[in-house]
Chain A
Amino acid sequence: MIAALRWVVFIIAALAMNFPVIVTLVTSFKSAREITTNPGFWINQPTFANYLQVLEVSDRLNIFAYLGNSLAAALIGTTLALILAFPAAYAIARGDYGRRILMPSVVNLRAVPLIIFAIPIYMMFQWMGLLDTQLGLGLMLTIVNLPLALVILVNAIAEVPLELDEAAKMDGASTFEIMLGIIRPVVRPAIVTTFIFGFITAWNEFLFGLMLTTNKAVPMTVGASFFFSASGGGVQWGPASAVMIIGALPPMLLGLVMYKQISGSMTAGAVKG
């Protein structure tokens, strides 16, 4: 009896939380006519027309450019965060170097409203010619990704037995060689998790996409909103739904594949808050 009730509660909760995605998915397969005549869940005549229309590139709307920009900026933001965080994490975990100031400053960034930094960075990017570039957006996403990257990597490295480092040092390896040759392969799973999780976070970021890009480097989250003001005569809900599904799909698929690792890393950041 109570077991059945658990199933009911689970299904209701899962449906309620995923409701917007379900509705958008259903709508994306309806024709323009059907959307206005039948707002319900059942599709009478499924169609791919919305997706085909969205994939068509126009002067104003170019979904491939948005996807490409999101991909490039997220890759830069994730890779750079790893490159910066990994050696620092090694120093923090093994040498306790930076544990008092560096580590808390970065970890607390997770909780600071990043809009605080947005205006000076906007001006800085303007001077440096980084406004509306994939690199500029990628640099911002690096900041977004650093806190969790550092926490995950410090925890992972701290769990590697120190004897490994010591044995390598006896054999005459330099610190750099130990870090890259011994530690990096051992913590590979943590690096992969950091990468996937960082990629999802970066892909989903909106504020800096909105502020720092206008045209050439617009990411998917911002580009999707363009489809809501596409042409005269109000929103075209079919294509708009198709765009939202396409834009939301990459992080959702990554999340589905990696949900176990991701749940661990999310709580890692939270618990160390």
Chain B
Amino acid sequence: MQVANRREWRILTTPLVGFLLLFLGFPIVVNLVYSVSDVTFETLRSPTITGFSNYIALLGEGDFWRASWFSLRFGILTALAECIIGLALAIFLAPLLAKRTFLMAPMMLPLMVAPAMVGLMYRLVLHEFVGPVPYYLYEWFGDSPTFFSVEAAFWTLIVVETLQWTPFAFLLFYMAYRAVPDEVHEAATIDGATPMQIVRTIDLPLMVPTIIVAFFIRFIDGFRVFDNVYTLTGTGPGGSTTSLSIYIYEAFFKQGAIGKAVAASMVLFIASFAVLFGLNWLSSRKSKGARA
């Protein structure tokens, strides 16, 4: 029995559809138009269409490619680090956490703190004169690295991002690991398998779908990073920590280069759709396992 008819379903979804068209559909159209126009803050309402000059200028700009390269490396490296550490922690700590769920709370706490705040907090943590990390490094080793030099700033940010978001990967992996039936583990143990063998031949293969999904989610979040990078290093020494999101923000607000900023937005839009197609394709192929 159908609870309602099509017309009623349409009425129920209309508010959401209308909201999306207004706040997302309209912006996409505006982006599209502005990205092929000669537009300044004075000509917002009557932009002149000039073709692809914004895109050509953007793609010929070193700063744009540098920001893209930063985002790509940042996304891949943090996602890798978070997944590897998260996976190791989930499997190693599972016996400890199984009967003590309250221990999950401190592990999840970092996920509750605003990334922008975390960026600000690390300014203190790593500060040359008042930060405990350089202080203790000097006390114990007589020397401390400069965390925000051109070479080091990128890696500082990688560590900061990884420390905050490893709990997310950990959480996903912990749940997937717990979902493997105990009988499977018992049977393997009776057959004489070592714990390492069980993890490698049974748990990891079963967790592959979750690992792929976790990696993609963390990659996407790392790729579009803004908050903690912006509050910790800004754009970094010599623009060395400008992510794509920060690049678009700066192009628009600091330089008033509207055409360039919206062209970059469209490039990012297309790129994220390419990634999303990949993710959806993978998860539709593997969704049965991932939902377990």
Contact = CB atoms under 8 A, between A and B. Distances in A.
Contacts of A207: 226-227, 245, 249
B116 A221 contact: yes
Contacts of B8: 95, 175
Interface of A: 3, 6-7, 9-10, 13-14, 16-21, 23-24, 27, 35-36, 39-41, 83-85, 87-88, 90-92, 94-95, 97-98, 102, 104-106, 108-109, 111-113, 115-124, 139-140, 142-143, 146, 162, 165-166, 169, 175, 178-179, 200, 203-207, 210-211, 221-222, 224-225, 228, 235, 237, 240-241, 244, 247-248, 251-252, 254-256, 259-260, 262-263, 266-267, 270-273
B268 interface: yes
A211 B116 CA distance: 14
A45 to B, nearest CB: 16
Given A23-B124, A119-B27, A120-B262, 6 more contacts: A92-B13, A95-B9, A116-B265, A124-B30, A247-B114, A270-B214
B258 to A, nearest CB: 7
Given A91-B9, A206-B115, A116 B268 contact: yes
B217 interface: yes
A266 B107 CA distance: 14
B109 A120 contact: no
Interface string B86-120: 00010011011100010111111111111111101
Contact of B96 (A3, A105, A111, A251): A3
Given A117-B23, A121-B23, A256-B109, A267 B96 contact: no
Contact of B129 (A39, A40, A224, A273): A39
B114 A19 contact: no
Contacts of A106: 16, 20
B12 A143 contact: no
15 contacts: A3-B95, A23-B132, A39-B131, A39-B135, A40-B132, A84-B19, A95-B3, A118-B249, A119-B31, A124-B26, A143-B24, A165-B3, A179-B12, A267-B175, A270-B214
A203 B117 CA distance: 11
Given A255-B108, A263-B171, A98 B13 contact: yes
A16 B163 contact: yes
B213 interface: yes
Contacts of A91: 4, 9-10, 12-13
B253 interface: yes
Contacts of A237: 124, 127, 130
Given A36-B130, A88-B12, A162 B3 contact: yes
Contact of A113 (B23, B31, B131, B272): B272
Nearest to A121: B27
Contacts of B101: 260
Contacts of A17: 107, 109-110, 163-164, 166-167
A198 to B, nearest CB: 13
